[in-house]
Amino acid sequence: MSTFTPAVLSLDQDSRYADDEADALLAGSAEELGRLRFTIILIARWEQSNSLTPQRRKTFSEELGKLRVLYLGMLDELGMAFGVQQATKTQEQVERTVSVPQGMLPPSNPCFKRYCSESTLPTSLFPLRSTRRGV
């Protein structure tokens, strides 16, 4: 047996660990993308509600625009981290599986921004970029 075998086995184990870590990061990213998609669908329905005042409709519209930009940014980051093909596959899976039950009404108080503002939403899927594969 070669003297390099333990080092090769160690590299193989490190590689498997890195793959497991990348898979966990991808799964977490897909979950965050799903949450964001759920929120976008829900707010888009609320925005179309006939019972809203023009001011609330404008608030929903503004928040919806911010959420859509965030969603596209998350997809871009996913593509940069895992490749465009994996990002597209994840997006298709999220869009196929995320749904919002009918009949969910808009919040009745004006504290909506407290629950759906830029400060409460993640700004990045990957806060620790150095832990990603290939970086």
SS (H, E, C) 75-113: HHHHHHHHCHHHHHHHHHHHHHHCCCCCCCCCCCCCCHH
* Residue 131 forms part of a structural domain: no
Is 85 in contact with 25 (CB distance < 8 Å)?
no
* Residue 133 forms part of a structural domain: no
* Residue 62 forms part of a structural domain: yes
Query: How far is residue 107's CA from residue 60's CA, in Å, rounded to a whole number?
Result: 11
Quick one: pLDDT at residue 31? 94
Expressed as residue numbers, the domain containing 16 is: 5-125
**Which amino acid does the sequence have at 43?**
I
Quick one: pLDDT at residue 108? 62
Quick one: pLDDT at residue 13? 57
* Residue 96 forms part of a structural domain: yes
List per-block mean pLDDT (blocks of 10 residues) for the chain, which spans 135 residues.
45 62 89 94 87 86 94 94 94 92 68 47 41 41
* Residue 20 forms part of a structural domain: yes
Quick one: pLDDT at residue 62? 92
Is 63 in contact with 116 (CB distance < 8 Å)?
yes
Quick one: pLDDT at residue 5? 45
Is 20 in contact with 81 (CB distance < 8 Å)?
no
Query: How far is residue 118's CA from residue 60's CA, in Å, rounded to a whole number?
Result: 13
* Residue 107 forms part of a structural domain: yes
* Residue 9 forms part of a structural domain: yes
pTM, entire model: 0.66
Look at the chain and count its residues: 135
Query: How far is residue 105's CA from residue 120's CA, in Å, rounded to a whole number?
Result: 21
* Residue 130 forms part of a structural domain: no
Domain count, the chain: 1
